[in-house]
Structure 1
Amino acid sequence: MTTSCSCKTWLKYAALALAALAIIGGMIGYDRGFRQYPQPDWVTASPEMRFKYGSIGAENDAGVPYWIFYVLPRIFPEKLTQDGLVVPGGYASLGVSWEQGQELPIGFTKKTIGFARVANNCAVCHTTSYREKIDSNPVFVVGGSAHTTNVEGFFRYLIDCAKDPRFNADILMAEINRVTHLDWIDQLLYRFLIIPITKKRLLEREAQFAWIYRKDFPEWGRGRDDAMNLTKYFMIKAPMDDTFGPTDMPSVWNLKKYVWEKGHRMNYAGDSNDAYSVIMDSALGVLGAPPANKADFLEQVKWLKDYLSALPPPKYPFPINAARAATGMTVFDANCATCHASEKTGTPLPLADVGTDRGRLDSWNKGAAIKANQVVKDMGLERKGLVEEDLIGYVAPFLDGIWLKAPYLHNGSVPTLRDLLEPAAKRPKLFWRGYDVYDQTKVGFVSDSPEAKRVGTRLDTASKGGSNKGHEFGTSLSASEKDALVEYLKTL
């Protein structure tokens, strides 16, 4: 009797102890694996800082654990390549906009969800960097094209690191322990959960990104992506085809100029109805999954739409010859206003009228739009969405802030405005993208100096999707008229 009672008492206490351990373990697991903490106050101190560093929720599914992100360039420096060559400098070698004193580049967010994670927001593709001269500090303009950033290089780098046998707990933990001190709980989590899961998820991306490893496709280069193929392969899980439509990262300031009721369409080929839809779809692309918190996601999309709608285009920061610009305004009104300051502006023009590279058009169609809209609808998200019709050509762009949108044409195949005013046969056939010293004479970025060749990515206009043909408007003007026109365009 006494023995039986003692045994029951022991079992009772053992059960209580196990329950307590389970509760404590669950609390630790939740705290170190799932509890979300707000970003520091400085991130939301101003709308510009929020745009540059604020989380849009991508850390949940697309985030990389902070300490893994931190040590990858220390372990795998040889995988940071550009044009087939190893480029020193860690993540900075990818041309990201990086402000002095900041822990991470613009467009890279840090948020703790159990453990610190790094992800991206819209600023990674929509922040422009320029310098007046080679020894100047860079100026960063939010809402502009990230013309220096090698997005494809970043995608490849994470996958290539995960494919390497050295991406394992022993090697990563040894490097992490050299730069920080994790407590025993995080040591165990990193070693047995975080590192293996991160490797698995990065390797899963390889199939989705298969087309960026194709030898018959050129590299996107700095400042470009293959936007609609990204949508096709990630959102609707379409099988890989042979289309390739690289485009420049677009500027996203002053979005209020797009008025849906006037027939304005968004994106280079007019494949999206309105700014809200574009922002939502782009944000979903960054998240890489349905939003973890739909209400929070929709609030982020609304905030971005309101912020970017009111964001003014940047003023030209260098001297302007007022008399020459006045002459150029007359030239503009006579030769350019029909498309760029009329009811045609912001609407698609037939490809036959413009004559530029058709690769971007071929990478998207009505069927893909219908499927993508259904995917978003199934997430319980509402927007006007992608235009469910086949595309006819490219949108006649608004020219606000045109001075900072180089390189030009939808695929970034012409380095400066002055080059764009030459017949296609006389435009540069080979130049280097992604250098940020500004060319005040030709209006664009320096693209053929020794430093530009060292820093930038090579664009051969004979490559797939890279043709500089078309848009021969204004090419018959005299040299003085062209110079005056370019001077006027600085004022827009």
Structure 2
Amino acid sequence: MKHRFFLYAGCVVAILGFGAGIAIDRDPSGMFSGRLQAQTGILSEFDQAGLSDEQRGAIYFAFGDFSALSSEALEVSAAPWKLSTALLALYHSNGDLETVTSEAVAGIFQDYGFVTPARIANWPDGLPVPQLDAPIGQNLGFASRLLPPIGVTISNVSCAACHASVVYDASGQPDLSTVWLGTPNGSINLERYVSELYKALRDRPEDEGLIWAAVQKLYPQTDWREWLALRSVVLPRVDGLVASQEAKIGRLLPFEVSTMGATNGLQALQSRFGLLANDHLAEVNAPISVPELGGRIWRSSLLASGAYGVPGEDPQRHMHAQDLTEGHINALAGLTAFFTVPSMGTSPATAAQHVDDAERIFAWLQNYRPQPFPGPIDRDAAERGRQVYAAACASCHGSYSVDIERPELVNFPNWQGDVGTDRTYIEMFDQATVDMVNGLGYDSLLQGRLAPDYVAQPLTGLWSSAPYLHNGSVPTLWHLMRPNQRPIEFDVGGHALDLEKVGIAGVQQGDVWATPSGYTPWARPERIDTTVPGLGAEGHKQPFDTMSEPDKADLLEYLKLL
């Protein structure tokens, strides 16, 4: 049903492109020579002593920086937070300093699908409630050095950018005050973020005094060392980056970073290591829908295609409960740490240094549960649907316990095959990419392979993870079950949920599943066009072509329980 990326690859911000413009380690003035390294400021709120691995894993999942708040990451995907947000605020206000406020910055990021919640609904008991200093999923840290006296506030994405969703009430309405860690953020739009950031850099005020006034207004406590760095090095390098990119492609990146709720980690990786030309735009993109994390410990390989495997192990191993050993789970953590290379701009060597942190995240995931379905469920229909699932779905997506209240996976086949879905991603993850991955020096933890088809995913938490299929091309499970009625276009982002059709709330307008009139999306929606290569909504017609309408209705009720 939904074949997707795993863990942080779903939150890939790709390569923001600052390397060409800032490249702190290559600063000819010598001011930034040598490595700068920061830690997410919010991590200091937690006393790690005495905490369980599960608690530490939740903290790191939400706020861990994986050493990606550094001069190394600034060359790839991190950003100078204060300058970037000041320029974004000026861009959105048409240069009106009066409207440059912290609230305006929060609103801009909310427009991109980032939220700043008051609480995390599934935060572990016994841990202090974190006090956010930025939208969840945007890590901030101040990197500084005494000699020479410099500093810069660095921002980068965390796992929670894509894997923390607003919760939904019994009518399917979003609650922006609360998020659920591990649920996919179907409203995250990193392409819009990257595109508008580039425009803000390109169209910056000629009057630098206005820029520094905006920084001062937003961040009045800015350290004098950071003022020196921003004025003397960072802004000039940003200007150089823009001039270079304008001469080549007129944007930061040669590919689309994402669609709404789906990210493009494959081309981020290819661009990072020279397999994608950076002097012209890619004609085709390969987005992968952000996954729900429930049940992911049952995977025997990672990525939508299973192209990342544990060295020496069968990537299509049929998993049972006794196979969920510490060794298996730690092996998945080793694969997962590598995802910080395309998503956060770390080097493979740096990623390998954080396998222990990934192992703690997996300790948290072992007991992770998605948000329970908030609406009513017809239990009699769900019981009938359980039998439909067992007959029609379990052989690919795994068997669940008989518990009709909260079924749990009891075995998972890691089935891989062709169900007729869009093959753009499969074709773009070619032998050259496999060879590149296997040549990065991460081979003791990860073995890349040329995968022929997509891997069927666990369906735990499926109700909250629209849009569906591996590329986010179907708005509801109701439409998924009726291939001939799937809309050609649909709106996604800042949406409410349709708890009956299970997915993005909308109204049918010809071939478009559109945002309902009278509903105000909390993030700016995007219209997905499934005729675009990479976004095709075809395939996965079986078993639905032969399934009766009553069985489809019963199956839908059962899927709400997972």
Question: How does the TM-score come out when normalised to structure 1?
Answer: 0.79
Asked if the contact 2:63–2:158 (Cα under 8 Å) also holds between the matched residues in 1, the reply is yes
Aligned pair 1:74/2:89, yes or no?
A: yes
Aligned counterparts of 1:202 and 1:375: Cα–Cα separation in 2: 30
| Candidates 101, 117, 133, aligned match of 1:99 | 117
Asked if the contact 1:51–1:123 (Cα under 8 Å) also holds between the matched residues in 2, the reply is yes
Asked if the contact 1:143–1:253 (Cα under 8 Å) also holds between the matched residues in 2, the reply is yes
How far is the alpha carbon of 1:255 from its aligned partner? 2.9
Helix, strand or coil: the match of 1:360? helix
| Candidates 458, 466, 477, aligned match of 2:547 | 477
Structure 1 match to 2:445: 383
Aligned counterparts of 1:358 and 1:37: Cα–Cα separation in 2: 39
How far is the alpha carbon of 1:136 from its aligned partner? 5.3
| Candidates 255, 269, 274, aligned match of 2:296 | 255
Asked if the contact 1:58–1:121 (Cα under 8 Å) also holds between the matched residues in 2, the reply is no
Aligned counterparts of 1:76 and 1:426: Cα–Cα separation in 2: 41
Aligned counterparts of 2:248 and 2:182: Cα–Cα separation in 1: 28
Give the 3 Å change call, closer, same or farther, for CA 468–95 of structure 1 in structure 2: same
Aligned counterparts of 1:245 and 1:35: Cα–Cα separation in 2: 32
Structure 1 match to 2:234: 194
Aligned pair 1:446/2:505, yes or no?
A: yes
Helix, strand or coil: the match of 2:447? coil
How far is the alpha carbon of 1:54 from its aligned partner? 2.6
Give the 3 Å change call, closer, same or farther, for CA 486–362 of structure 1 in structure 2: same
Helix, strand or coil: the match of 1:406? coil
Aligned counterparts of 2:520 and 2:546: Cα–Cα separation in 1: 30
Task: Tell me: higher relative CO, structure 1 or 2? Use CA pairs within 8 A at least 6 residues apart.
Answer: 2
Asked if the contact 2:292–2:462 (Cα under 8 Å) also holds between the matched residues in 1, the reply is no
Structure 1 match to 2:28: none
Superimposed CA distance per residue, residues 438-485 of structure 1 (whole angstroms, 9 cap, x where no aligned partner): 211111121431337784210122222221111112233222211111
Structure 1 match to 2:163: 126
Aligned residues with identical type, % of pairs: 22
Counterpart amino acid of residue 132 in structure 2: Q
Asked if the contact 1:277–1:386 (Cα under 8 Å) also holds between the matched residues in 2, the reply is no
Counterpart amino acid of residue 407 in structure 1: P
Aligned counterparts of 1:161 and 1:279: Cα–Cα separation in 2: 33
| Candidates 431, 435, 458, aligned match of 1:370 | 435
How far is the alpha carbon of 1:78 from its aligned partner? 6.9
Give the 3 Å change call, closer, same or farther, for CA 269–239 of structure 1 in structure 2: same
Aligned pair 1:490/2:546, yes or no?
A: no
Helix, strand or coil: the match of 1:361? helix
Counterpart amino acid of residue 268 in structure 1: A
Question: Which consecutive unaligned segments of at least 5 residues does structure 2 have?
Answer: 1-30, 49-54, 95-104, 119-130, 145-151, 311-331, 400-410, 507-513
Helix, strand or coil: the match of 2:139? strand
Structure 2 match to 1:315: 372
Aligned counterparts of 2:36 and 2:253: Cα–Cα separation in 1: 34
Counterpart amino acid of residue 187 in structure 2: T
Helix, strand or coil: the match of 1:428? coil
Give the 3 Å change call, closer, same or farther, for CA 316–282 of structure 1 in structure 2: same
Superimposed CA distance per residue, residues 132-160 of structure 1 (whole angstroms, 9 cap, x where no aligned partner): 24765234221222211001112222333
Question: How does the TM-score come out when normalised to structure 2?
Answer: 0.70
Structure 1 match to 2:211: 172
Counterpart amino acid of residue 373 in structure 1: N
Give the 3 Å change call, closer, same or farther, for CA 382–112 of structure 1 in structure 2: farther
Greater helix fraction, Structure 1 or Structure 2: 1
Aligned pair 1:234/2:272, yes or no?
A: yes
Aligned counterparts of 1:221 and 1:272: Cα–Cα separation in 2: 23
Matches within 5 A, 1:147-186: 147-166=186-205, 169-179=208-218, 180-182=220-222, 184-186=224-226
Aligned counterparts of 1:431 and 1:481: Cα–Cα separation in 2: 26
Aligned pair 1:403/2:405, yes or no?
A: no
Aligned counterparts of 2:374 and 2:249: Cα–Cα separation in 1: 39
